[in-house]
Amino acid sequence: MGFLTAPEDALIEAVAAGQTQLRLNHCFGSLDAVFKNALQKEPRLLAFLAGYSSTYQKKGLVQLCFDYDVTLCYQEPRPASLGEVAVDTGVWDPAPLLRRGLPREETLVTQDPADVSRKLSALLGRLLSEYEGIHGWRTGVSSFGKLSPYAVCTVSYDYLLPLPQLRQLQGKARFAAKQIWRSILGRAAVPRFVKPFLALSYLSQECGYDQRAFDEAAGASDAEPSDPIPHLAYGPLVEKRGICSGLAWAFKTLMDEANIECRCVSGALKDAPETGHQWNLVRLDGQLYHVDPTWGIREEGVFVGGLLQPDSMMRGTHLWNAGDYPAARGMHFGYDLIESYLAENGNEFLDAGADERIFFPDRIVE
């Protein structure tokens, strides 16, 4: 190290390079002061350092200058580089964590870990509605004593199953969706606006509501479920059982297979606001509509009251954070239009091998 390199700069360079041993020459004052200055200049070092030890030599006639031989201890695991650590200046935004595939884990240094937790809590609904199998987020907080006002906050996620197992079940659910559409449609070429009804009809008639899983979730909504299957698309599509989250993901998987844009919505029912609920948004001809594949699933027949509804109708029964989702203003499509279309064209579809029970359920409940 050059003679002119300040001790705190030498320390920053050593940590960035992952050195475990270094000598800090010509330090005026204690080693704690060197670390304090380094952490003030580069607070991201907190994400790497776990501790240190040292020996020293006094220099100069009045012995005010010290040479320190320092051993650095690092956190494990730790980020690969300083560039992977964010610095929260009070305006940290968690929204970029929601990326395609899996949510991004984050390491940041902050003076207000509680504010980070509050911001993540506000994002929880979107987190649950954008990633199948995620159960929640967690933060780990560590600090470096009195040497820095910052703390390290790591954001990670809890999943219902280990990710390899979750991915395997998602793959099986997608394969099941392909088979289900073949069984429903046969060779029939059905327009897109009919397919949300067909998916709803299938789930209503083929899947049972898992009351045990619901009771467990309602009794301890923050606890990890003992049986994750009813919460995933795999439950309704493969094992024929689920609760609202599993049914919403199953409906989305069927829409994905039909090339219809669909997403899940996390909120609640007005008559049970303390219990979470999930349903869907679908886009038809550029307009969004709500579909609730769970609402009424315990009824005899196919309940169409939650099929292709705009925000204005859905607000009468459902609660959600409107700021988290695009507005659903679709008014053109609805069950009445689908019913008329199927009455006129149904024989053609049945002749092409369509499943009569799914196209024409014995009982429709409105």
Output 144 or 152, whichever has higher pLDDT.
152
**Cβ-proximal residues to 62 (8 Å cutoff; 6+ apart), any chain:** none
- 143 falls in which pLDDT band (50, 70, 90)? confident
Residue at token pair 């964590």: 97
What is the reported pLDDT for 1? 43
State yes or no: pLDDT of 145 exceeds 90: no
The side-by-side arrangement of strands in the sheet containing 85-87 is: 85-87, 106-110, 151-159, 134-143
pLDDT tens digits for range 86-111: 999 889 999 999 988 899 999 999 99
State yes or no: pLDDT of 59 exceeds 80: no
Mean pLDDT of the chain: 92
The amino acid occupying position 95 is A
Tokens representing residue 296 in the block: 């009424």
State yes or no: pLDDT of 61 exceeds 60: no
Average of per-residue pLDDT across 269-280: 92
- 65 falls in which pLDDT band (50, 70, 90)? confident
Alpha-carbon distance of 256 to 95, in angstroms, equals 24
pLDDT tens digits for range 161-176: 999 999 999 999 999 9
Closest by CA to 104, choosing from 122, 82, 75, 130, is 130
Closest by CA to 286, choosing from 326, 244, 338, is 326
What is the reported pLDDT for 2? 45
- 320 falls in which pLDDT band (50, 70, 90)? very high
Domain with CATH 3.10.620 in the chain: 163-365
pLDDT tens digits for range 108-136: 999 999 999 999 988 888 999 999 999 88
What is the reported pLDDT for 64? 73
pLDDT tens digits for range 16-53: 999 999 999 888 888 999 999 999 999 999 999 999 99
Average of per-residue pLDDT across 238-261: 97
The answer to whether the beta carbons of residues 316 and 145 sit under 8 Å apart is no
CATH architecture of the domain 163-365 equals Roll (3.10)
Scanning the chain, the segments in alpha helix (DSSP H) are 7-17, 31-41, 113-122, 124-130, 163-185, 195-206, 211-219, 234, 244-257, 311-314, 335-351, 356-359
pLDDT > 90: what percent of the chain?
79
pLDDT tens digits for range 1-19: 445 689 999 999 999 999 9
CB atoms within 10 A of CB 82: 14
Closest by CA to 177, choosing from 208, 197, 203, is 203
What residues does 289 pair with on adjacent strands? 282
State yes or no: pLDDT of 248 exceeds 50: yes
pTM comes to 0.88
Tokens representing residue 132 in the block: 């199948």
